[in-house]
Amino acid sequence: MPPPSRRLVSDNFKDHVLGFLQDIQWSILAWYRYVKETWPIFVTLLVVTAVAIYFAEPPPPSKVTFAAGVSGGSYEDIAKRYKAFFKRYDIELEVLPSTGPLTNLQRMVDPNASPRIDVALTQSGLARDVKGIEQLAYLGSIDYEPIFFLLRKDRLPENQDGFIDALSDRRLGIGEPGTGTKVQFERLLALNNLTFKQSNFVVQSDRQSVEDVLSGKLDGVVLVDGIQSENMQALLNSPEIVLLSPSRVQAYHRLLPYLDVLTIPEGSINLVDNVPTKDLKILSTTTALVAQKDLHPAIQFLLIKAAVEISGAASFFAGQDTFPKFNESAIARSPVAQEYFLKGSPYLDRHLPFWLAELLDRFAYVLMPFLAFAYPILLSLPSYRHKRLTRRIWTSYGKLKELELELSNDFDPLKVQQYLERLDQIEAEAIRVKIYGSQGADYFKHRQHIHFVRALLYQDMQKAGLGAEPGASTSKPMGHEAGKRPEV
């Protein structure tokens, strides 16, 4: 053995290491025993939690219906982009054709509509004319939707100061019933104390109106659409068509606050031909994204996320991050959208795949309140076991004390066999008790007291001349007979 001065590791250090390793070993063993004894409770809690998650907050649907708009309009293009976005998350977005934004709202609130519309595009300002709108949630506006007035060059009014008055005498296509075009134009007419004239205004699809204006069958057309839509591009690229600017746009904005005033700069449509020849002020509503109020929160979140990605970029009229925004007051705002706009994307979504983030979010949503109930139960198990063991020992002590008093005060030699059987029964019950850790001290003290009473019994038997010796009775202790050990 090397001298102490040459030892690389001192005995104290070894003791510390061994003590640390033993602590780890005992901790693992204690947890193993704890889980082994309580696993049915853990399994029950997990099963109840899984059932609660499924029924309280089911997983998001794999298919969502999306009402778009007329063929060739801006809604059709937006719906295609949303469909591609949802495909990245393995969710099918079924795009349903529609005659327009007003029809979309009416179908969403109709309980008999088939198929059910989950999400739709509409125009700000239309909801106030629809009953049952309280069942919808407003996710935000995602784009400008200008009101364009276009006429053929050879049919322009001589005096454009009374803009709406002049148009009222022209044969115009104003969209189908259910379209935003017809509703918005009628509101502008009403502000000028003009009524809808069936003989002058042609109610038909926007696509048909565009074709008729280009062919000369109509004098002009009123469109509420995106400037990049197929219908608008067909008109703006025609040398026969002129885009007009309404007079008193600020007055219309004040009277109809949901309308914005936009500017089309000189030459911005066609710089080479300088179209338009001067800055034009036009009125615009906005495209609103609405959903059923009970639509799964995860789907609402994806819709808002898509809106940020698709509509957040700069466009002809909108600057970077102008959309999405809230500017519709008739439809209640979605709590999911409000939280997103206030706090941004959730932490889990920024760091995990959508399916996993959504699963953990649902799990936490149900599990946290549930744990508030389950945690005290799990926490009380050790003390409950200790109290249960204590109760069993003290119950046994009561029987043992009763037997001891009977032996001390009223010993009857004729009842020796009964005494032995009662004592054996008390010891057998004690042996069957499970003990845990530090509770072993109470257990073995109890066993010692049983042997003490057994010794008293043998003394009484000797005094009575029965010649008994420890272990010589006709009834042996059950614990010794079975050779059992306490279960630890």
Do residue 335 and residue 219 come from a single domain? Answer: yes
Q: Quick check: 271 pLDDT over 50?
A: yes
Q: How many CB atoms lie within 10 A of CB 87?
A: 11
Do residue 33 and residue 143 come from a single domain? Answer: no
Do residue 82 and residue 146 come from a single domain? Answer: yes
Do residue 170 and residue 98 come from a single domain? Answer: yes
Is there a domain that residue 4 lies in? Answer: no
27-31, 178-182, 187-191, 473-477: the lowest-pLDDT one: 473-477
- The predicted model gives 52-71 an average pLDDT of 81
- The predicted model gives 204-229 an average pLDDT of 90
Do residue 323 and residue 472 come from a single domain? Answer: no
What is residue 211's predicted lDDT score, i.e. its pLDDT?
A: 93
For residue 37, the enclosing domain spans: 10-56
Do residue 141 and residue 272 come from a single domain? Answer: yes
What is residue 470's predicted lDDT score, i.e. its pLDDT?
A: 47
- The predicted model gives 81-94 an average pLDDT of 93
Do residue 46 and residue 85 come from a single domain? Answer: no
Residue 104 belongs to a domain with what CATH number? 3.40.190.10
Q: Quick check: 277 pLDDT over 50?
A: yes
- The predicted model gives 349-378 an average pLDDT of 65
Domain count, the chain: 3
Over residues 128-171, the pLDDT tens digits come to 878 889 999 999 999 999 999 999 988 887 765 556 666 767 88
Count CA atoms within 13 Å of residue 183 on its CB side.
20
Do residue 216 and residue 298 come from a single domain? Answer: yes
Task: Give the residue from 344, 353, 371, 358 showing the smallest Cα distance to 57.
Answer: 358
Q: Quick check: 340 pLDDT over 80?
A: yes
Do residue 48 and residue 69 come from a single domain? Answer: no
Is there a domain that residue 337 lies in? Answer: yes
Percent of the chain with pLDDT over 90: 26
Is there a domain that residue 341 lies in? Answer: yes
Instruction: Report which of residues 39 and 217 the model is more confident about.
Output: 217
Over residues 181-196, the pLDDT tens digits come to 888 888 888 888 876 6
What is residue 60's predicted lDDT score, i.e. its pLDDT?
A: 84
Is there a domain that residue 450 lies in? Answer: yes
Three-class SS of the chain: CCCHHHCCCCHHHHHHHHHHHHHHHHHHHHHHHHHHHHHHHHHHHHHHHHHHHHHHCCCCCCEEEEECCCCCCHHHHHHHHHHHHHHCCCCEEEEECCCCHHHHHHHHHCCCCCCCCCEEEEECCCHHHCCCHHHEEEEEEEEEEEEEEEEEHHHCCCCCCCHHHHHCCCCEECCCCCCHHHHHHHHHHHHCCCCCCCCCEECCCHHHHHHHHHHCCCCEEEEECCCCCHHHHHHHCCCCEEEECCCCHHHHHHHCCCCEEEEECCCCCECCCCECCCCEEEEEEEEEEEEECCCCHHHHHHHHHHHHHHHCCCCCCCCCCCCCECCCCCCCECHHHHHHHHHCCCHHHHHCCHHHHHHHHHHHHHHHHHHHHHHHHHHHHHHHHHHHHHHHHHHHHHHHHHHHHHHHHCCCHHHHHHHHHHHHHHHHHHHCCECCHHHHHHHHHHHHHHHHHHHHHHHHHHHCCCCCCCCCCCCCCHHHHHCCCCEC
- Average per-residue pLDDT for the chain: 80
Do residue 128 and residue 255 come from a single domain? Answer: yes
